């Protein structure tokens, strides 16, 4: 998981927005005060939505599981309606309904092309779909089709409020004057604003990755500082295992997961072990709510071809007398810790014993 500091992102957004409005106003040749007030309130509203839906920005770089998404319409909403007395349920339902409702007011107020129900409804759907899809990458947030439906209904209700306001003649004239203040140049500058914000976010994301991950070379160069002597390394699938020895003879295994740009992040544990000849050790960590990652280290001078579990085989990489393997199995396989075997090329069990 990569945690991105939101403060520099907001700084870039605000600075880019101020420059964008200055350039747009200068190109228009005059300042339409009422439109400028409305469009800046719209910007403030967009920042609030961004904060509510995306913060904290903790991006999942591995363990992404789309199966956690709720794709069955209205099931979650019906469950909420049946439990309205639960804390936070009413707030959640009303929050989703109200969150994007102002979008149905601001867009037709600022732009005439959004004064068709089909256009505003489609725009609301695409905006909330974009929010839900991006939330798939964030920890502690999931894609929920009910949010998509309720947010879109909220946009439609907001548009209904706009249509009612538009029926009042004095307000209609003011609304039309706001929309008439749009200039062709504003569209080009808005595209530039979006490009600057996106480039700034990607730059911060990249720097955040550099600050919280390491290359294999960086990992190995740190070993002497940690008073560790390298024994062996092994790349097992998406994992890097570093096997080292301390001055007192204690041996340590450190696991790292490859994330992006050939960089690694440490798995939240390591282990101390002192394997004897023809011994192995199995350690595991939950990958998600349904699967478990198992890591194996064996010590043997025999040729180890594979690690087995039932009818499944998992590849082994070797470095001298040390052999490493990895398996991802259903969490329900509670006997997995005690059911791995190591075999030779002919499939014969090498009868390695598990370190106690």
| Per-residue pLDDT tens over the stretch 223-252 | 999 898 988 888 877 788 888 888 888 888
Which of 151, 182, 212 marks a domain boundary? 212
Q: How confident is the model at residue 65 (pLDDT cuts 50, 70, 90)?
A: low
What are the b/e assignments for 237-266, b being 16+ CB within 10 Å?
eebbbbbbbeeeeebbbbbbbbbeeebbbe
Residues 120 and 15 in one domain: yes
Q: Which of 157, 178, 212 is the last residue of a domain?
A: 212
Do residue 236 and residue 328 come from a single domain? yes
Co-location of 97 and 200 in the same domain = yes
More confident residue, 107 or 70: 107
pLDDT in tens, 312-337: 999 898 888 888 888 888 887 777 88
Does 241 lie in the same domain as 166? no
pLDDT band, very low/low/confident/very high, at 219 (cuts 50, 70, 90): very high
How many domains does one find in the chain?
2
Residues 43 and 177 in one domain: yes
Domain that holds residue 154: 2-212
Domain boundary among 184, 212, 240: 212
**Are 152 and 266 within one domain?**
no
pLDDT band at 63 (very low <50, low <70, confident <90, very high): low
Share of the chain above pLDDT 90, in %: 41
The answer to whether residues 47 and 186 belong to one domain is yes
Q: Are residues 190 and 281 located together in one domain of the fold?
A: no
Contact (CB, 8 A) for 151 and 72: no
List alpha helices for the chain, DSSP H.
Answer: 6-28, 33-54, 75-81, 89-99, 103-110, 117-135, 145-166, 169-180, 184-212, 216-221
Per the model's pLDDT, the better-predicted residue between 86 and 47 turns out to be: 47
Q: Are residues 301 and 154 in the same domain?
A: no
Q: Does the pLDDT of residue 64 top 60, yes or no?
A: no
């Amino acid at each position: 998981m990569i945690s991105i500091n939101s403060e520099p992102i907001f700084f870039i957004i605000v600075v880019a927005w101020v420059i964008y409005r200055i350039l747009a106003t200068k190109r228009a040749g005059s300042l339409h005060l009422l439109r400028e007030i409305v469009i800046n309130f719209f910007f403030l509203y967009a920042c609030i939505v961004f904060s509510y839906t995306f913060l904290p920005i903790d991006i999942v770089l591995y363990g992404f599981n789309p199966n956690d998404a709720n794709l069955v319409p209205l099931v979650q909403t019906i469950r909420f309606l049946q439990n309205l007395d639960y804390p936070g349920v009413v707030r959640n339902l009303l929050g989703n309904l109200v969150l994007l409702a102002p979008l149905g007011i601001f867009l037709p107020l600022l732009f005439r092309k959004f004064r068709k129900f089909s256009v505003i409804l489609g725009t609301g759907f695409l905006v909330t779909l974009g929010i839900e899809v991006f939330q798939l990458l964030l920890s502690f947030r999931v894609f929920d089709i009910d949010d998509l439906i309720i947010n879109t209904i909220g946009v439609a209700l907001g548009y209904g409020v706009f249509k009612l306001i538009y029926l009042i003649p004095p307000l209609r004239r003011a609304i039309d004057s706001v929309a008439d203040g749009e200039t062709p140049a504003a569209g080009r500058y808005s595209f530039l604003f979006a490009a600057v914000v996106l480039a700034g976010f990607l730059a911060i994301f990249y720097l955040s990755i550099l600050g919280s991950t390491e290359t294999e070379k960086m990992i190995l160069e740190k070993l002497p500082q940690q008073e560790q002597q390298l024994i062996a390394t092994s790349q097992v699938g998406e994992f890097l295992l570093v096997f080292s020895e301390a001055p007192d003879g204690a041996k340590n295994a450190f696991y790292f997961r490859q994330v992006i740009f050939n960089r690694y992040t440490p798995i939240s544990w390591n282990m101390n072990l002192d394997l004897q000849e023809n011994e192995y050790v199995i350690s595991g960590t939950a990958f998600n709510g349904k699967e478990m990652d198992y890591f194996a280290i064996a010590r043997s001078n025999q040729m180890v071809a594979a690690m087995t579990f039932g009818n499944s085989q998992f590849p082994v990489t070797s470095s001298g007398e040390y052999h490493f393997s990895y398996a991802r199995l259903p969490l329900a396989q509670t006997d997995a810790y005690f059911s791995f075997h190591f075999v030779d090329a002919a499939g014969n069990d090498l009868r390695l014993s598990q370190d106690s």
